[in-house]
Structure 1
């Protein structure tokens, strides 16, 4: 059995491509930590789930339905999760290569007995969940467990496990091969009671004068007969354990997402189920989009509205400290949350499923001093270009700002034009006015230019409004704010 809570049964397991720096640039570690709440299992599941993004709209909707069930019935999901956790903690014993099959069988019986008890508990939970779950994923899981594990199954397995104790000895037979040598030992159902006296059977046999040699031969035949049974029991325990491990991982991801949603709702942050636009659609649409990382930190975050559902290049310019990078991160996290099948921190959000999500943020100085920042930027961008394809999303933050503006414009202009012409949607936060102005002058209908909002008194509105790029970044506003701040007594600052 397989849980099939993240991919529909029979569907190819395909994930969108993620850039190597996406997690660090977008602050996904903070999101995963909030999902986990200090639980190592939930943390691992969060990291796995937010990087194994669905590559098609059908899988996204499949996950959204499962998550909706988890939010509607968290107690049922948590009960199943706790059973899966208990199963993964069942101790499995190992045995050396030279040990006898009887020992291997004995060590496999205890864990499989415990696992069967947990399977019975899971079947009971699925009986209860079948009446309330509505998603295809959880409905199919419950139906699969109930069909595979009826009462008759547990009765039969219980009978077999009890028989494998061999309380009244073993019953095996062998065939006679060339030279009347015994071959092909077969283990039969054990006797129900220990036999008394000798059982007379017709047939000729040759007595063995050496009793110890005969005993050794009998032990060898018994071991050969038990070897296959021991392997079957061990493989069965492995199969059940693997099922419970997968179930724990998939349920942990949705439980972590439910915890994150509760935290955001308690903080007054709006959340919504994102809409999936048709495949290969450009751009995005959002109302009240927020950065989850800042919301979790307790910051008051202004929602951003952007209508760019038909745009392939978004260029964001404007005032320093105006929320441009925050918007870039929020758009990236929202895209990842969408393709993970979860919610988005916004009033409304719509975007297509991307073939990949990549970031290119201005790097730190190379501490090895082997190359400068521009060389680092070019190497990182080359890696992105090698991996990104049509339908991908590229988020750039101050790319090529480490060189002169004229040279940066000569680099950025042709590069971003080629990416957009190849079917990539690009969102650029930049202070490179020469590049932005030259691109704006081309008046391409698929381009959208946004400016970070600023009031007349210099106050930042943290809104993105459509507007042509301007050369000023209003750094003087920050200068006045910092240097006019009251100085602490005795500090000299």
Structure 2
């Protein structure tokens, strides 16, 4: 059987992986990506794989479409997802056989190891062949079709078919050996001087009890001994490779001299099987190398999507546009972190506020103003997370989406006073902003959340205006969430003063709406001028701290003369 290239469900064959960029740890922290990775990890056996995939964002529309097709087939064909989820432990075990190479293994260990690998291979091939035979004709993803063709080719190969016939007997020969009978010669002082192997048995020896010997009872079984002489000790380890709780693990029997010598004798039992196994040297599991982790990534995504859909939350396959168009359009988008936090509520869909985002030629730079806890940070996170999910090839939390890949996501969030460097909070802010403009391009996404809040309003407004002008000249997509209402009120001048094709737009968060329960925040983000003092008066009136309200209260108390 000729060797074929390794299959990947993330990367089309022949497409390089150069069009990726690593997600910065600061961006992952500011967007709280860890919450989403944790939600995915609860459906996957290997959290490391999910983090590795999520850390490399792809910019190639062809690769992203390839991934979307793989995910959509799982989403549309639930039977395929269910069967693959059942097979995943076996495919992962097969991957472990390939990665655990020990050049110092004995012939006995090599035979048992290879038999185990071939057994896993047969389990995986037969299971995959069955599921692809049922749904293969309905799948559109190139990744699944290639995998199905490889599996079918192996399943029909004469060498593989012969293996399926011979493997049960070989496994039975090895696994039926449960004990050996050893003869030990003693000298005249009853010291052991020589041993010989008398037989290899199908049943394990056990020890007869003290009561049996005391009462002179004869053991009914032929394999019951007087008492154990040696057994493999257990060694308690702090953590095993799977990261589970501390537990006792058996020591390798080959570390015990007697057992090591016996293993050499037992190799004679394995030699006929070793000769048989040479006929299957062309059967390799390499075509599945790495697929288990990628499969786990997609299956975890499907399970999370099902959970969100079950709560009535919208999800969509985003249309991937060319990077040069610099577009991000979301209809009824929402913050996935917030949705995951509210999943325990009975009416999650009502509790999660949906907002639109439209970054295109009519506006790529948003100046977002509004009150504290009015939804500004939630909105900024929503846009950033949707961008990340789209560039992983996943569905995004929105009813509809059209997104151009970005070559970097740069975030600038406030830091705690204790985290600031010797330069102070403002100095640290300035350094981090400088770093962003050292690396960002016109194809980047820049998310500024309350930047320049550590200095006085006059200085911060002056610097903020310069930053927005530079962003417009760059042509980047950006959101600047700020309390600088003067900055948002001046967008017309900013567009006139700085040339560029990234229009600056003012967005307003969380207007006060009247309802049956009185006035309340809407958490909606809409285009418009900042509300400024009039909005502050509404807030003051709502909480009873308006001028007239306070004066009336003081007069009632008789405080005023």
How far, CA to CA, are the matches of 1:120 and 1:473 in structure 2? 73
Corresponding residue for residue 506 of structure 2: 449
Unaligned runs of 5+ in 2: 175-270, 343-347, 546-561
Q: Which residue of 1 aligns with 2:360?
A: 309
Give the C-alpha shift of residue 86 in structure 1.
Answer: 2.9
Distance 1:368 1:412 in 2: 20
CA distance, structure 1, for counterparts of residue 398 and residue 310 of structure 2:
15
1:266 aligns with 2:268: no
Farther off after superposition, 125-134 or 153-162: 153-162
Deviation, structure 1 residue 400: 1.1
What is the CA–CA distance in structure 1 between the aligned matches of 2:120 and 2:303, rounded to whole Å? 25
Aligned to 1:403: 455
TM-score by length of 1: 0.74
Alignment correspondent of 1:459: 520
- Once residues 238 and 395 of structure 1 are traced to their aligned partners in structure 2, the CA distance between those partners, rounded to angstroms, is 51
**Rounded Cα–Cα distance in structure 2 between residues aligned with 1:408 and 1:382:** 15
**Corresponding residue number in structure 1 for 2:90:** 83
Show the counterpart of 1:276.
320
Residue of structure 2 equivalent to 1:256: 300
Is 1:291 the counterpart of 2:335 in the alignment?
yes
Counterpart CA distance in 2 for 1:3 and 1:283 is: 32
C-alpha change, 1:91 and 1:456, in structure 2 (3 Å) is closer
1:136 aligns with 2:197: no
CA distance in structure 2 between the aligned counterparts of 1:362 and 1:368, rounded to whole angstroms: 10
The change in CA–CA distance for 1:375 and 1:237 in structure 2 (over 3 A counts) is: farther
1:6–1:63 CA contact under 8 A, matched in 2: yes
CA displacement at 1:483 relative to structure 2: 7.6
Contact 2:329–2:357, Cα closer than 8 Å, also in 1: yes
- In the other structure, the counterpart of 2:532 is 471
Tell me the SS of whatever aligns to 2:412: strand
Match of 1:59 in 2: 63
Equivalent pair of 1:16/1:54 in contact (CA under 8 Å): yes
Kept in 2: contact 1:115–1:237 (CA 8 A): no
- 1:359-374 alignment runs, 5 A limit: 359-367=411-419, 370-374=422-426
Q: TM-score by structure 2 length?
A: 0.66
Instruction: Give distance in 2, aligned partners of 1:336 and 1:61.
Output: 15
Distance 2:102 2:90 in 1: 27
Is contact 1:79-1:125 (8 Å) kept?
A: no
Deviation per residue, 1:225-270 (Å, 9 max, x gap): x9xx99x99xx89974x76551111011101101110111111111
- For 2:113, what is the secondary structure of its paired residue? helix
Q: Given the alignment of the two structures, is residue 30 of structure 1 paired with residue 87 of structure 2, yes or no?
A: no
Does the 8 Å CA contact 1:276/1:353 hold for their aligned counterparts?
yes
Distance 2:471 2:307 in 1: 38
Considering Cα pairs closer than 8 Å and 6+ residues apart, tell me whether 1 or 2 has the greater RCO.
Answer: 1
Local SS of the residue matching 1:442: helix
Whole-angstrom distance in 1 between the partners of 2:101 and 2:140: 42
Change (3 A) 1:433 1:455: closer
Matched, 1:48 2:52: yes
- 2:195 matched residue in structure 1: none
Within 5 Å, give how 1:318-357 maps onto structure 2. 318-357=370-409
Q: How many residues align?
A: 415
Change (3 A) 1:477 1:40: farther
Q: Secondary structure at the match of 1:441?
A: helix
The Cα of 1:292 is off from its aligned counterpart by 0.9
Offset of 1:91 from its aligned partner? 9.7
State how far apart, in whole Å, the 2-side matches of 1:356 and 1:473 are. Answer: 38
| CA-CA distance at 1:93 after TM superposition | 7.0
**Quick one: distance in 2 between partners of 1:340 and 1:53?**
6
How far 1:88 sits from its partner (Å)?
A: 4.1
Q: What are the superposed Cα offsets for residues 145-189 of structure 1, whole Å, 9 maximum, x if unpaired?
A: 3335643232577899999xxx9xxxxxxxxxxxxxxxxxxxxxx
Structure 1: segments with no counterpart, 5+ residues: 168-225, 485-493
Give distance in 1, aligned partners of 2:491 and 2:461. 10
Distance 1:393 1:238 in 2: 48
1:254-298 deviation digits (Å, cap 9, x = unpaired) = 011011101111111111111122322234222111111111111
Relative to structure 1, the CA distance from residue 283 to residue 258 in structure 2 (aligned partners, 3 Å threshold; closer, same or farther) is same
Contact conserved, 2:327 with 2:402, CA < 8 A, in 1?
A: no
For the residues of structure 2 that align with 1:372 and 1:355, how far apart are their CA atoms?
31
Residue 204 of structure 1: aligned partner: none
TM superposition shift of 1:318: 2.3
Could you say if the C-alpha distance between residues 355 and 440 of structure 1 is closer, same or farther in structure 2, counting changes exceeding 3 Å?
same
RMSD between aligned alpha carbons?
3.6
